[in-house]
Chains A and B, each alone.
Chain A
Amino acid sequence: MKYISILSLLMLCLTVSCESLIEPKVYSILTDANAFQSKDDAIAAVNAAYSRLKQPSGSNDSWMYYAGFQVTITDLTTDVGHASSGGDVGLMSNANWGPSNTYLAYAWQHQYKLVSDVNNALYYIPKIEALTEKEQAQFLGELKFLRSLGYYDLTNAFGAVPLMTEDSVAKNIQSPAYEARVPVTEISQINAKIISDLEYAAANLPLNYTSSTVYKTNDVGRATKGSALALLCKLYMREKQWQKVADITQQIMDLKQYALYPSYSQLFAESNKWCSENIFSALSNNLLDATEMMNHFGPLNNTEVTDRWQYFGIPWRFWNTFEKNDERREMFFYDYVGTDGLRYVQPPAGVINPPAGFYYLPDVASKKYADPKGSTTYLDGHVFPIIRYADILMCRAEALNELNGPNAESIQLINQVKARSKATLLGAAGTFTKDGLRDQILTERGWEFFFECKRREDLIRMGKYQSMVNTYLTAIGQPARIDINKHRYFPYPQAQVDLNPNLSNSDRQ
């Protein structure tokens, strides 16, 4: 009997002390137990979320999302973008996408990646006891801005989507249900979330980081009060809340932080990482945090900007609309002698085969992300402007026109933008109808914001997506495929639909 007691005792000992005997010790990895302890940890979590603007992030070699691929679901699906390489990107540019198109899957995946990293940080940062209230508000403000950007882009592309927040992170830690079919949240609810997040960000973020109490350096790439208001402005534009746009643009102008940069071409110089016109950008550095933007946007067989692919081009049809005096017309590689000695030019109308010594470019490469004075290496450090001041001015011009019809302020705002590029200015307000001025604004936005991921939302907002894209498709010999009822949103990526039938593509192409 004695021995049975000993045995039982031994067993009991084991049961009691077992927990410590199998508690894993981590040495070389960060887990939820050791990753979020200090202010530096909080900053690292916030920084990581910014890195998701360009993906794959952290690898010093990015091309996804705002490192370029965002244009495949925006400009490329309109009359201002073209991909001549065929495949899925060609299908996007011919408005012939389907739910299995890789570029839809990329966009969906990387936009959600941004959202998800924000959610993680939003979940863990409030648990860091070392933070002051001010620090926490700063971090949460930046994160909520970034998440709003992610949802703004997701809803632009896909409409109603699953709304994941820091609460989803908490749920996964408690009892994960990764295979659960999450519900799809209506756009109105997502908008409400974006608005409250951005209002929080606007209330808690500083005007700039020249003298931040939280950060020691002037981190121009971080979201500011101006960034939050500007994104809110974009959301109100989408929702056609013109008065709110008018109010918020005034608020942004009153911040006295922003001005148009004097030179359009210098605005996009690779060396110009930040200037008075930038409100929020995805920053890069060709050595530390490089992109492949130059590879994708740069010209074919060019002697100046060498070894690039011209994966994303601009249709000649659009380039031809620039006035000769408009400096923005010069932002393109439209006529050059290539590495093979041939002259690379636009084919004359109706001519297919070039004469000896010529090469006909199917579309024209832009210098926006292929600065001739920029990197000569495989990787580059171009900055992608996500929102800049010219957009705010144009939004205000549009909102005032929608509210009051053609007016002097709208004309003045548009002419500010035009004047910078020496384009012909608009005449007096009285010479325009409301619709006419709206069309002018659309045209001007095309010239000003090509390859800045604005064209698709502009066309949709102004009710021109179907007509203008179909006209363009017809002009390039493609069927007029756009039916706004089916093309307003892209289909959800097929692999995601397979995992979650709540995502229904029944009313989408």
Chain B
Amino acid sequence: MKYKLLFFFIFVSLLATRNGFAQSGEVRVSGKVTDAKGAEIPGANVSLVGTTSGVITDVEGKFSLNVPGSQSVLRVSFIGYKTAEMTVGNRTQFDFTLEEDSKTLDQLVVVGYGTQKKKDLTGAVSSVSSGDLNLGGATSNVAQAFQGRAAGVQVSQSNSAPGGSTVVRIRGGNSISSTNEPLYVVDGFPSETGKDINPNDIEDIQILKDASATAIYGARGANGVVIITTKRGKAGKPTVVFDSYYGVQKVSSSYEKMTGLQAMDITNAKNAERGLPPTYTPTDLKSGINNDWFKLATRNASVQSYSLTASGGNEDTRVALSLNYFSQDGALKNTDYDRYSVRLNADKQFSKRFKVGANVYGAHTFSLFKNYDGSIVPSNVMYGILSASPAVPSYNADGSYARFQGRDNPLAWLLAPTNDRFGNKININAFAEYQITDDLTFKVNAGTEYNGFKEGTYLPRDLVDGEKVKGRATVQDNASTRNLVEGYFTYIKTFGQHSINAIAGVSTQDDKTEDHFTAVQNFSSDVFLYNNLGAGTERVTSTSNKINTKIASAYGRINYGFKDKYLATFTIRRDGSSRFGENNRYGYFPSGSLAWRVGDEEFVKNLNLFSDLKVRASYGVTGNDRIGDYAYMTTFSPVNLTLDGDNSYGGVAATRLPNPDLKWESTGQLDIGVDLAFASGRISATFDYYHKKTNDLLMNIPIGDWQGFSSQIVNAGAIQNNGLELSINTQNVSKGNFRWKTAFNIAYNKQKVMDLGGRPYIITTTANPYGGRAVDFTKLEPGRELSSFFGYVYDGVIKTGETYTPQKGAPAGSPKYADVNGDGTINANDRAYLGNANPHYTYGIGNEFRYKNFDLNIFLQGALDYSLYNANALILESGYGTSALNRWTPTNENTDIPRDGYATTSFGGYINSRFVEDASYLRCKMITLGYNLPFGPKSKVNVRLYGTVQNLFTITGYTGTDPEVNTKAANGGTSASSINLASGLDYTAFPSYRSYTLGLKVNF
């Protein structure tokens, strides 16, 4: 509430300020803005050159404003059209016809350390403007906002919990052990948490994909670079926008579970089959306990957002302020995510040659979190919800949580523990730019970023585990700071037919991260939660750690153009990093590219076919420096022993061997692309082919024990990714009051591991839903892709009287597996590759319709040709899902479901083809319908009402709840290698949901 008041106060203050800008003029002029075909253009900006005053055209394209005199110049601009100007003179009526500039070739694109005209780009860059982002609803981070919007940029919402995680892969994954997430650069500042800024602050996003574009980020460029530019103040009329929406998230998945009575019956039946007495007595069977845990655990949850942005200024000084409160309750009870954020961007032109600017961003987040890591501990609440019997009671008569056989029910685990997570992020980044000559500019960027989180948990006595230890509290504090200083020269000059745009500069960065963790138990009372650790009399653990990473770099880029048709770019960056071993302290990352604007050649122009045609080719080398801090050093750790039998003695022993050669993973990438446009730019397309080969993969290779260790981190191994990308933008209809635009993109990627540093294969295991030892889940061998499932081939159930020799002695009702190697018995050698978790195709289709005051956006996205392992189905089928009712029994022979799961037989295993399913899908990610209230041309206020539906429908053959789920990536603590090697597990994920929101946007 406090915050809402604060927002209101700021809002009122801004309104008051705005009145100060108001001006009165001498002449009132009016007019209309249309396009070449005579269609009105609403929302075009009409301003007076040299002043800050201006208006926006109404829905009929009409405007009127006061001008100070006849010398005044009216300027009309609108995105996608060329700007037009007219001197007022004696006239009072002006009709502007804007020429379409739909290809926006002169549009500036932010590339690393500078901007370039889009037409001069020689590399592969995808642009997503704020208007094309998936904003609203439950969208809480940047990656969700650009999901499906750029070809070759695969985003999956691996965990749909509030504030949940996303996985982003640009042109496939290059690494096995290290992260494959791209680098985020926000307003020139490389930010570890750039993905988590308020997505409503974004003006546009450039996604750098090929080596020509990413080489300027050298050792951090290999996974691609997402350059985010936030909204800045513009000269002209100040604008104040208040945007709010409220909505509800409805759970869209469910798990079919049996009734309490059925559960008791099946438990007793299975007992009888094993020769055990029944668990439930005839009295129990009449108890009527029937808990639908999923229903009890979920709710229709609200999502809301309030934001206020104010921006404005003049030619000298421009300011943009944005305030936002976003709050999402979880569809699962006792989960939520709240964010308060503030951004202030300011620019000041001190003189013709000197300007400064600053960006300040601060955010505070709070969430109630749960664990969705796919383990079988009861704190993994979805495991409990899926596996618990409906016959387990929920509450006692006194309202306390009921226990069953000495254990807590899943609802108690969902509701009783406290799991709070607080996040704080501050980024302050300033620049000063001095134009030394007309051609040469020097710019300094300096900034600091603080990113911290605190997790406080408390396990109360309501739970058996809490009772045992008399309450346990943990507190984890983590704080990262980054300091960055960069300076670079920009030289732009045209000599006759030659043009040069060059930059050269240096950069240093220093990161420090500290972490503290304390766990305490034995509290006299549950009231303190984690807020009084001293009250717990038993310290369980207390640890701390601090690390430092430093990077120092020099970089340069030269773009050369001849006749504006023949373009070349050469880039090089030299990165020195504290992470690299002494023998490889510096890496050089060069790239070169060529482009030919074929469309500007006379012979093509004469064809009158293309309005634009450019071919590009680039090759370069970039790196992945996320190889771990201090990893090249030999390190020593304390050990404890006794040398007299009574007392403890301290020792220090080596924990790792030195590797002074340790360095970045290195990706060489070739890209060939074509940009083209037809029909006066109404149809444009971009096509790219790429081939990436990554060498020096970070690998833990086995070494001889005589070295004192059994494995060592080295740069070995190679992986390659090949792909195709196509994006098409069309303006289908632009007639009268109706407009229809379509944006489509699709990408194909194929990965192939070339070498595992001499290791024959890498097996990755996953938690066993039955308990016990983790079993093999994926296998990586040269020639294969990451996350390839490896297990048995399921062949139904052994029927009564059937003799299946490879499973000698297996009773009827046992799962049957194919004898893959034909040796007459089923053992580990009968496992085969069952599918792969990396989508080979990803695509997005956006359609935008406008009719009069209405606008409609429909965005679909999806992925094709990949599989998931549906472990939830396994839990349900082996437990209390309705599917288990169809299990094999002597009276139910005709079924595929074994009598009692996959763990009671010595043959085969539960990682088998039965649960590997094609997960290809098409999803209606977002539909937004908006309506601008017809307040008339004189109104100073513009009001828009809109409604958004997210995840309206998903077309898929996948029987699990959500084809985007990735359990291994669902928890922040999961290692990068585990995400890379064992994606594709759908296990105990947060419930998927559909969100419906209604919004109101007011422009002043």
User: Using an 8 Å CB-CB cutoff, how does the interface string of B928-943 with A read, 1 for contact, 0 for none?
Assistant: 0000000000000000
Is B653 a contact partner of A288 (Cβ separation < 8 A)? no
Is A162 a contact partner of B704 (Cβ separation < 8 A)? yes
Is A176 a contact partner of B657 (Cβ separation < 8 A)? yes
Is B504 a contact partner of A30 (Cβ separation < 8 A)? no
Known contacts: A21-B552, A22-B552, A117-B654. The answer to whether A176 contacts B661 by CB under 8 A is yes
Q: Which residue of A29, A48, A109, A172 contacts B653 across the interface (Cβ within 8 Å)?
A: A48
Report which residue of B487, B643, B659 has the largest number of chain A beta carbons within 10 angstroms of its beta carbon.
Answer: B643
> A1-25: which have CB < 8 Å to B?
3, 6-7, 10-11, 13-15, 18, 21-25
Q: Nearest-CB distance from A266 to chain B (Å)?
A: 15
Tell me, in angstroms, the Cα distance from A10 to B553 when the chains sit together.
Answer: 12
Q: Nearest-CB distance from B498 to chain A (Å)?
A: 18
Residue B648 interfacial (CB < 8 Å): yes
For A310, the chain B residues whose CB sits under 8 A away are none
Q: Which residue of B487, B579, B641, B652 contacts A10 across the interface (Cβ within 8 Å)?
A: B487
Q: Nearest-CB distance from A187 to chain B (Å)?
A: 16
> A377-410: which have CB < 8 Å to B?
381, 383
Residue B405 interfacial (CB < 8 Å): no
Residue A84 interfacial (CB < 8 Å): no
Residue B678 interfacial (CB < 8 Å): no
Known contacts: A112-B706, A176-B659, A179-B703. The answer to whether A218 contacts B633 by CB under 8 A is no
For A500, the chain B residues whose CB sits under 8 A away are 704
Is A58 a contact partner of B644 (Cβ separation < 8 A)? no
Tell me, in angstroms, the Cα distance from A226 to B643 when the chains sit together.
Answer: 17
Is B643 a contact partner of A219 (Cβ separation < 8 A)? yes
Residue B634 interfacial (CB < 8 Å): yes
Known contacts: A35-B652, A109-B705, A178-B703. The answer to whether A288 contacts B634 by CB under 8 A is no
Is B546 a contact partner of A27 (Cβ separation < 8 A)? yes
For A27, the chain B residues whose CB sits under 8 A away are 545-548
Tell me, in angstroms, the Cα distance from A182 to B706 when the chains sit together.
Answer: 9
Residue B658 interfacial (CB < 8 Å): yes
Residue B689 interfacial (CB < 8 Å): no
Q: Which residue of B545, B636, B642, B659 contacts A283 across the interface (Cβ within 8 Å)?
A: B642
Tell me, in angstroms, the Cα distance from A224 to B657 when the chains sit together.
Answer: 30
Q: Nearest-CB distance from B625 to chain A (Å)?
A: 11
Is B639 a contact partner of A273 (Cβ separation < 8 A)? no
For B161, the chain A residues whose CB sits under 8 A away are none
Tell me, in angstroms, the Cα distance from A84 to B636 when the chains sit together.
Answer: 40
Residue A284 interfacial (CB < 8 Å): yes
> Who on chain A is nearest to B575 by CB?
A22
> B437-460: which have CB < 8 Å to A?
437, 440
> Who on chain B is nearest to A46 by CB?
B651
Known contacts: A120-B708, A176-B657. The answer to whether A21 contacts B643 by CB under 8 A is no
> A200-226: which have CB < 8 Å to B?
217-222
> A174-212: which have CB < 8 Å to B?
175-176, 178-179, 182
For B644, the chain A residues whose CB sits under 8 A away are 217-221, 273-274, 283
For A108, the chain B residues whose CB sits under 8 A away are 705
Known contacts: A23-B550, A31-B633, A119-B708. The answer to whether A18 contacts B648 by CB under 8 A is no
For A496, the chain B residues whose CB sits under 8 A away are 704-705
Is B710 a contact partner of A29 (Cβ separation < 8 A)? no
Count of chain A to chain B residue pairs whose CB atoms are closer than 8 Å in the complex: 223
> Who on chain B is nearest to A110 by CB?
B705
Q: Which residue of B648, B652, B706 contacts A162 across the interface (Cβ within 8 Å)?
A: B706
- Count A-side interface residues using an 8 Å CB cutoff: 76
Is A24 a contact partner of B645 (Cβ separation < 8 A)? no
Is A28 a contact partner of B636 (Cβ separation < 8 A)? no
Known contacts: A30-B652, A57-B653, A172-B658. The answer to whether A288 contacts B647 by CB under 8 A is yes
Residue A45 interfacial (CB < 8 Å): yes
> Who on chain A is nearest to B708 by CB?
A116
Residue A44 interfacial (CB < 8 Å): yes
> Who on chain A is nearest to B491 by CB?
A3
Is B658 a contact partner of A173 (Cβ separation < 8 A)? yes
Tell me, in angstroms, the Cα distance from A32 to B652 when the chains sit together.
Answer: 11
Q: Nearest-CB distance from B758 to chain A (Å)?
A: 7
> Who on chain A is nearest to B585 by CB?
A22
Report which residue of B440, B506, B638 has the largest number of chain A beta carbons within 10 angstroms of its beta carbon.
Answer: B506
Is A499 a contact partner of B703 (Cβ separation < 8 A)? yes
Q: Nearest-CB distance from A48 to chain B (Å)?
A: 3
Known contacts: A109-B705, A117-B654, A178-B712. The answer to whether A47 contacts B643 by CB under 8 A is yes
> B449-501: which have CB < 8 Å to A?
487, 489, 491
For B544, the chain A residues whose CB sits under 8 A away are 28
Is A14 a contact partner of B643 (Cβ separation < 8 A)? no
For A66, the chain B residues whose CB sits under 8 A away are none
Residue B702 interfacial (CB < 8 Å): yes
Is A22 a contact partner of B550 (Cβ separation < 8 A)? yes
Residue A289 interfacial (CB < 8 Å): yes
Residue A164 interfacial (CB < 8 Å): yes
Q: Nearest-CB distance from B612 to chain A (Å)?
A: 35
Q: Nearest-CB distance from B540 to chain A (Å)?
A: 15
Tell me, in angstroms, the Cα distance from A18 to B551 when the chains sit together.
Answer: 9
Report which residue of A30, A35, A175, A500 has the largest number of chain B beta carbons within 10 angstroms of its beta carbon.
Answer: A30
Report which residue of B645, B703, B714 has the largest number of chain A beta carbons within 10 angstroms of its beta carbon.
Answer: B645
> B706-739: which have CB < 8 Å to A?
706-710, 712, 714
Residue B164 interfacial (CB < 8 Å): no
Q: Which residue of A3, A21, A285 contacts B440 across the interface (Cβ within 8 Å)?
A: A3
Residue B396 interfacial (CB < 8 Å): no
Residue A356 interfacial (CB < 8 Å): no
Tell me, in angstroms, the Cα distance from A168 to B546 when the chains sit together.
Answer: 31
For B547, the chain A residues whose CB sits under 8 A away are 27-28
Is A18 a contact partner of B654 (Cβ separation < 8 A)? no
For B640, the chain A residues whose CB sits under 8 A away are 51, 58, 60, 288-289
For A495, the chain B residues whose CB sits under 8 A away are 702
User: Using an 8 Å CB-CB cutoff, how does the interface string of B613-643 with A read, 1 for contact, 0 for none?
Assistant: 0000000000000000110011111111111
> Who on chain A is nearest to B581 by CB?
A176
Is A383 a contact partner of B645 (Cβ separation < 8 A)? yes
Q: Nearest-CB distance from B763 to chain A (Å)?
A: 15
Tell me, in angstroms, the Cα distance from A229 to B649 when the chains sit together.
Answer: 26
> Who on chain A is nearest to B710 by CB?
A109
> B750-775: which have CB < 8 Å to A?
758
For A58, the chain B residues whose CB sits under 8 A away are 637-641, 651, 653
Q: Nearest-CB distance from B380 to chain A (Å)?
A: 27
Is B552 a contact partner of A14 (Cβ separation < 8 A)? yes
Residue B66 interfacial (CB < 8 Å): no
Q: Which residue of A13, A44, A112 contacts B708 across the interface (Cβ within 8 Å)?
A: A112
Known contacts: A47-B649, A48-B652, A112-B708. The answer to whether A31 contacts B635 by CB under 8 A is yes
Tell me, in angstroms, the Cα distance from A111 to B545 when the chains sit together.
Answer: 32
Q: Nearest-CB distance from A257 to chain B (Å)?
A: 17
Q: Which residue of B489, B646, B647, B658 contacts A3 across the interface (Cβ within 8 Å)?
A: B489
For B638, the chain A residues whose CB sits under 8 A away are 44, 58
Residue A244 interfacial (CB < 8 Å): no
Q: Which residue of A6, A23, A288 contacts B578 across the interface (Cβ within 8 Å)?
A: A23
Tell me, in angstroms, the Cα distance from A491 to B559 when the chains sit together.
Answer: 64
For A60, the chain B residues whose CB sits under 8 A away are 640
> Who on chain A is nearest to B508 by CB?
A21
Is A44 a contact partner of B651 (Cβ separation < 8 A)? yes
Q: Nearest-CB distance from A504 to chain B (Å)?
A: 14
For B491, the chain A residues whose CB sits under 8 A away are 3
Tell me, in angstroms, the Cα distance from A139 to B590 when the chains sit together.
Answer: 52
Known: A27-B545, A31-B636. 4 other contacts (CB 8 A): A21-B552, A50-B641, A221-B643, A274-B644
Q: Which 9 A-B pairs have the closest CB atoms?
A: A116-B708, A273-B645, A58-B639, A48-B651, A24-B578, A47-B651, A48-B653, A21-B552, A27-B546
What are 15 pairs between A and B in contact, CB < 8 Å?
A13-B506, A21-B552, A26-B630, A30-B637, A46-B651, A48-B641, A58-B640, A116-B706, A117-B653, A120-B653, A168-B707, A173-B658, A179-B758, A285-B646, A285-B648
Interface residues of B (CB under 8 A from A): 436-437, 440, 487, 489, 491, 504-506, 508, 544-552, 554, 576-579, 583, 585-586, 629-630, 633-654, 657-661, 701-710, 712, 714, 758
